[in-house]
Chains A and B, each alone.
Chain A
């Protein structure tokens, strides 16, 4: 169970920018039965459905029998051969029965061969069961809601299923958004719990890249919105999500296809080995029974990986979903394991994007108190995070509390709003004026000379990657405020981890090279591109790809769409534009750009699990030879008994034990297949050494012990 503990928990934070309320709208706390239902659906998805519950297990058992249909089995060449073998042995057992022979052994082999097939089907069914359960709950939330369609200026009520792409709809407070769309008018809070699992409503308004998209099935909890529908029914986000989690259209990923080919190749080799063994046996003196040959074949076939291959893939997708990321295909998840360059936007991904005050520096002979006081008053009318951070810093610096409290313009004072013309804002009270703004703007507004030490301070701040703001009191410059872009905590460690995994991080920013360098160093990225325009992203990705790199990026804006499409793995924010979401191959429902790191991790874990079980499966064969070959030829060459190094009780018990081990190992490995092999960031050489030891060498040793143990039980029960 150690693996379980090592799994990182899905992050639960709401991204800063969505949580930060603007324009004075406070998110109303809304709880209705509907929002509660939505929240619980999303929460259960994030937690991962409890797998080993009786209803899921029961449905998986039913499905394991349904999947015996050869038309289904043929998709999996290895298990198809096993099914063929089971039919053959069953037929032989019955034939012997009618001929009045002793058939205890034959029937036991037949039963265990059928179990082998059923266990494989069960593994796949269990993996699918989770997704199916989620799809069912999602489907329940997908109702035909009434929609107010606006046509030629008039409002008409239609069922949401009649809305088509391009229609305009109005959604009022308390109503369900009838389809995926883009806000074109109005500002409102929307509860998106159904998709994100977060009950705190988010603000929606027109004309932004990150706050204009709405999703069908979510609920407007304040005010109203006018939206343009962007998806036809059946193609909506919820529809896609249901299809994805259900895995109905699951296609084999490229690596799975390649592995299936190899497993088919191995199956053919083993088929030949076993078929040619009969003539060899006849030459040696006595034919081997068909039942023994089939048993040998099934033991040699890579049944373990053959049985668990699709379960591993499904479970990998499921893990991605639990991180609240929707992958449009398994291929995307697989590719994320291969990614070796991460392209990250500075703003919003590496930094919070809000420049916060870090230092208030007195200039022109002013004291620290005067500087703090002026900065405080200049910012009292500023509601932006910048302004608030200056207030907080001034308070720390010991400025006297303003009469109206720390977060309001006091009575009798007048706020001077920011204007593009003056590029300043401030407060006027009792004939005193405090202004703050860009250094050159304040300089231009001064009555007298600019203090001589200002230039040094602004130079230093720019050099260190910050933004200087000047503060004036009654036409005299008294302070420079150092605004710093803050790197999100914990990122440095994450980037170190990525470096150990062999993944390079590149930060993209529109800042000047100096600023960019400072932030890059703070965050610990490997490389940065400064003064980049949004269009540059696609160029950078193409250049990297031309060098053979596989690139992942996250983005949200419309102008990110081409880059998201070009990147090998593109993670779009759910809060982003429809174009971005369309172009990307994954969507993060939490709109947390750093989550791309988790996705890479899951991709790697998926591939490692697949490789580990493949290696284990093939390594197992060594022991099975030592069990079956001496047993099969005991009559012709008793001397081969020397190869029976496990000292298995009887030839029949040896063969039966090998077959039982072969079947039980599938069941034993289902939990590993579903939750994935433990992964920790380390260079490939280290991972290989460790996994080779555990699954390669372990794969050789385990069956020797397992078969011997089963043989002890089988022989003591007198089964063979």
Chain B
């Protein structure tokens, strides 16, 4: 580890920290229907959208109507994206003449982008037409992020409101999230990326002859517009197969920084939005602090592990003074690769600028563990906040009794119904990961496309299903996932991991909204301050540890122990 490495990490963290309040405040105002500086320009547009689509923006929805709206909207998008991939061959904006995507892969991709996962079993530049990239994938990058924000808003309102039957209007939240937040930021930052050299065109691929006289095809297309929302919406689906390691997606250190900040900006700022909307910004900052603790710990471990030499190369006489460089872009180096790996997995982004598969065992453990902790450290846009709030409800319920009152969070009593839903939401994720990994581990479907044996092969399967169910989308590659089994199993894992958590979340929002809050007193369980941060971090770690420790022990942990003895896979 170097001082400059840590300085880069510190600068990034401080920049994100600086963004939390302004962006969070802006979002709180937008989603409460308050005036913001973009109002004069965008408000007329918003009105036209409602008039055309027949949405009454003043009419709020119960949690159930809200959930049905979200599910219907997602289902239509899912079907649309599936069909688009199947017929892209006969549609315009297809200079390279891409044919129909095969059904299992099309289903996988449709599920993947609808659920904000952006797991990619295909290679973008050799599979998707420009139309599919723009109207199919980029569209979902916007709306899946917006629906994540919408779910978070519903839960925040559920906590903030007293004796209310409604949690907001899904259509209004969807429109505002796109119109006021995602689109303006994307447009500005896409232009910056173009300035830094990211292509944005509809041209044919370039066929060049290299200095060695080899023929090379250089893929391009409308990259910048899709690149920025990929990060901003914590989507992660690359235009190219190499994702953000590709020089056209992420040409230099500046774009690398912009992209990392874009990944963290909205999830981090939503903690402030939460604090403002529940009327106590300290509550929001406390969540931010708890997230930061896990975040910085993860970076320290990952950077520490990657700064070590790769044990397999130790005896080959290779200078590894800078750490493990296998699978990393030299223009980013070890610290920024490790940092990116942590950022992309604590959030549900999944974009990568290096190969997680090539990390040292413990370095690879961190991204895997981050996903398995539920991506609640900043997390996906919206889903990270709701996930952390669920851990808060769980922590309050487990430890809250110890102050001598039945548990409550921000004045709302946590009772049997909430516990049922929280348990369900927290249960779904490990259940999906463990069940699918178990099937993969003992069947040929799962093991025949593994490129590595032993614990490393196991990690690849575990990572794939963790990434799918957790709606992350990054891969521990080394696993041939474009097979019938993985395409469908991961497709289902992604859908379960998204919607079976969203539904209980909205149910909790509805139930909490109906409650009368208990006014705070000295006897109230404190949900700010260092103690609570510790408790919350403890709850996240304990649940993650208890559910995944055996699996991790058989994957990265034993691999690390074996690697030290010189055994590799």
Write the residues of chain A forming the contact surface with B, with a CB cutoff of 8 angstroms: 254-255, 257-259, 261-262, 264-266, 268-270, 272-273, 275-284, 300, 334, 337-338, 340, 499-504, 545-550, 603-605, 607-608, 610-612, 614-615, 618-619, 621-622, 625, 629, 633, 637, 639-640, 642-643, 679, 683-685, 687-689, 691-692, 695-696
* Cβ-defined contact, A612 with B411, below 8 A: no
C-alpha spacing A493/B255, complex, angstroms? 65
* Cβ-defined contact, A279 with B405, below 8 A: no
Query: Which residue of chain B has its CB nearest to the CB of A260?
Result: B416
Given contacts A265-B424, A503-B523, 13 further A-B contacts (CB under 8 A): A273-B547, A278-B438, A280-B437, A280-B458, A283-B442, A334-B406, A340-B519, A546-B516, A548-B162, A549-B518, A611-B402, A683-B523, A684-B522
Residues of A within 8 A of B405 (CB): 337-338, 604, 607, 684
* Cβ-defined contact, A340 with B558, below 8 A: no
Residues of B within 8 A of A621 (CB): 542, 546
Residues of B within 8 A of A273 (CB): 430, 434, 546-547, 550
Query: Which residue of chain A has its CB nearest to the CB of B523?
Result: A502
Q: Jot down 20 A-B pairs with beta carbons below 8 A, ordered by A.
A: A259-B419, A265-B423, A268-B431, A280-B458, A282-B441, A283-B447, A284-B554, A300-B546, A548-B162, A607-B405, A611-B401, A614-B398, A619-B542, A622-B542, A625-B546, A629-B549, A640-B561, A684-B526, A688-B525, A696-B538
Q: Does B435 contact A (CB under 8 A)?
A: yes
C-alpha spacing A62/B531, complex, angstroms? 45
Residues of A within 8 A of B546 (CB): 269-270, 273, 300, 618, 621, 625
* Cβ-defined contact, B411 with A548, below 8 A: yes
C-alpha spacing A545/B518, complex, angstroms? 9
Q: Which residue of B403, B441, B553, B562 is within 8 Å of A687 (Cβ)?
A: B403
* Cβ-defined contact, B401 with A607, below 8 A: yes
* Cβ-defined contact, A261 with B420, below 8 A: yes
Q: Does B59 contact A (CB under 8 A)?
A: no
C-alpha spacing A281/B437, complex, angstroms? 12
* Cβ-defined contact, A618 with B542, below 8 A: yes
C-alpha spacing A695/B401, complex, angstroms? 12
Q: What's the least CB distance linking B320 to chain A, in Å?
A: 23
Query: Which residue of chain B has its CB nearest to the CB of A550?
Result: B518
Residues of A within 8 A of B137 (CB): none
* Cβ-defined contact, B558 with A279, below 8 A: no
Q: What's the least CB distance linking A291 to chain B, in Å?
A: 17
Interface of A is mostly: helix
Residues of A within 8 A of B427 (CB): 265, 268-269
Residues of A within 8 A of B551 (CB): 276-277, 280
* Cβ-defined contact, A282 with B404, below 8 A: no
Q: Does B197 contact A (CB under 8 A)?
A: no
Known: A280-B551, A615-B402, A642-B561. A684 touches B397 (CB 8 A): no
Count of chain B residues with a beta carbon within 8 Å of a chain A beta carbon: 65
* Cβ-defined contact, B538 with A284, below 8 A: no
Write the residues of chain B forming the contact surface with A, with a CB cutoff of 8 angstroms: 162, 394, 397-407, 411, 414-416, 418-420, 423-424, 426-427, 430-431, 434-435, 437-439, 441-442, 447, 454-455, 458, 516-519, 521-526, 529, 531, 535, 538, 542, 545-547, 549-551, 553-554, 557-558, 561-562, 565
* Cβ-defined contact, A548 with B519, below 8 A: yes
* Cβ-defined contact, A280 with B554, below 8 A: yes
Query: Which residue of chain A has its CB nearest to the CB of B520?
Result: A502
* Cβ-defined contact, B406 with A625, below 8 A: no
* Cβ-defined contact, B402 with A502, below 8 A: no
* Cβ-defined contact, B447 with A611, below 8 A: no
Q: What's the least CB distance linking B229 to chain A, in Å?
A: 35
Query: Which residue of chain B has its CB nearest to the CB of A275?
Result: B438
Q: Which residue of A257, A262, A276, A549 is within 8 Å of B438 (Cβ)?
A: A276
Residues of B within 8 A of A547 (CB): 519
Q: Which residue of B403, B415, B423, B441 is within 8 Å of A283 (Cβ)?
A: B441
Residues of A within 8 A of B402 (CB): 608, 611-612, 615, 687-688, 691-692, 695
Closest 4 CB pairs of A and B: A502-B523, A611-B401, A604-B404, A265-B423
C-alpha spacing A695/B411, complex, angstroms? 25
Q: Which residue of B401, B426, B434 is within 8 Å of A614 (Cβ)?
A: B401
Q: Which residue of A269, A334, A629 is within 8 Å of B553 (Cβ)?
A: A629
Known: A340-B523, A548-B519, A550-B518. A255 touches B401 (CB 8 A): yes
Q: Which residue of A340, A500, A614 is within 8 Å of B518 (Cβ)?
A: A340
* Cβ-defined contact, A548 with B518, below 8 A: yes
* Cβ-defined contact, B399 with A688, below 8 A: yes
Q: What's the least CB distance linking A133 to chain B, in Å?
A: 29
Residues of B within 8 A of A546 (CB): 516
Query: Which residue of chain B has its CB nearest to the CB of A549?
Result: B519
Query: Which residue of chain B has its CB nearest to the CB of A335?
Result: B406
Q: Which residue of B404, B517, B550 is within 8 Å of A548 (Cβ)?
A: B517
Query: Which residue of chain A has its CB nearest to the CB of B549?
Result: A625
* Cβ-defined contact, A261 with B403, below 8 A: no
C-alpha spacing A282/B546, complex, angstroms? 21
Q: What's the least CB distance linking B566 to chain A, in Å?
A: 12
C-alpha spacing A266/B547, complex, angstroms? 10
Residues of B within 8 A of A270 (CB): 546
Known: A334-B406, A637-B554. A685 touches B415 (CB 8 A): no
Residues of B within 8 A of A276 (CB): 434-435, 437-438, 551
Residues of B within 8 A of A607 (CB): 401, 404-406
* Cβ-defined contact, B401 with A685, below 8 A: no
C-alpha spacing A341/B152, complex, angstroms? 34
* Cβ-defined contact, A254 with B415, below 8 A: yes
* Cβ-defined contact, B439 with A279, below 8 A: yes
C-alpha spacing A696/B537, complex, angstroms? 13
Query: Which residue of chain A has its CB nearest to the CB of B405?
Result: A338
Residues of A within 8 A of B397 (CB): 258-259, 262
C-alpha spacing A272/B545, complex, angstroms? 14
* Cβ-defined contact, B404 with A605, below 8 A: yes
* Cβ-defined contact, B438 with A279, below 8 A: yes
Q: What's the least CB distance linking A496 to chain B, in Å?
A: 12
Query: Which residue of chain B has its CB nearest to the CB of A621?
Result: B546
